[in-house]
Amino acid sequence: MTERVAMMGPATTRRPVLRVEDDQADWIIDEVVTELPLTIVVNDVEIATLVTTPSDLEDLVYGFLVAEQVVPGAEAIRSVAFDAEDQIAHVEADASVEDAGARMFQRRYVTSCCGKGRASIYYESDAAALRPVEGGQTVAAQTALELLLRLQQRSDIFRRTGGVHNVALASTSGEVLAVRADIGRHNALDKLYGHCLREKIATGDLMAVLSGRISSEILLKAAKLGLPLVLSKSAPTELALALAEDIGITVIGFARQGRLNVYTHPERIAL
């Protein structure tokens, strides 16, 4: 059944596919995830076009604009209106955004990570994330494993289509506070960020639980949320771990089948 989860259209659709199994071929009706290009326009200035799953789009707009420093904070956003026909999010904000697109996607520069001398290249908006993430409560290893199972249980669109990434915001005691899905992991995290901004949720003692790889981009998104722990059933990349080590984020990967790997800052893991 097609599920409408946003004014921009359905999150899934159904179509005939030829399924081949054990030398048998049959036509079946399968469910497929949908995607759309959403153009974000702030104060009549086109900022970016995001290819996204059409769900929780207001969360996505808030999270993206604040994470990329197009606006200084959620309080600067006065209104968000969606044009379904042209697939545009029109945002009115108390912010000057004339050069935001050029600043975000054209101008890059070299900086050292937290002053420790390792040169890396980032977008300008990433620099704000390169500050220490301090504090954060400990999480039991068993709780971390259980959180991946809870994320899977709440990943309805993935179970039906296999076509999205899921990210959960969770407490270290094992409570899943929110789940967002998208074809892009970075979009899913921006949706969570937007949810936290709109609901004024403090994130200093929370964690991100992901279904996919922890890349440097995902690590930076988590840093912008101020999350001290990132947990995934999949693998991290080397740059993500280098950033996590310097910034102070605990990265847990390959959390499945009763085991997990703690790559950085293991002091937040209780055995």
Active site residues: 114
- C-alpha 135/C-alpha 228 separation (Å) is 7
Residue-wise burial string across 149-182, b where 16 or more C-beta atoms lie within 10 A, e elsewhere: ebbbeebebbebbebbbbbbbbebeeeeebbbbb
CA nearest neighbour of 181 among 47, 52, 40: 52
- C-alpha 82/C-alpha 52 separation (Å) is 14
Judging by beta carbons within 10 Å of its beta carbon (0-12, 13-18, 19+), is residue 264 exposed, middle or buried?
buried
Q: Contact, 78 vs 93, CB < 8 A?
A: yes
Length, in residues, of the chain: 271
- Give the tokens for residue 224: 């912008």
Q: Contact, 45 vs 98, CB < 8 A?
A: yes
Q: Contact, 101 vs 48, CB < 8 A?
A: yes
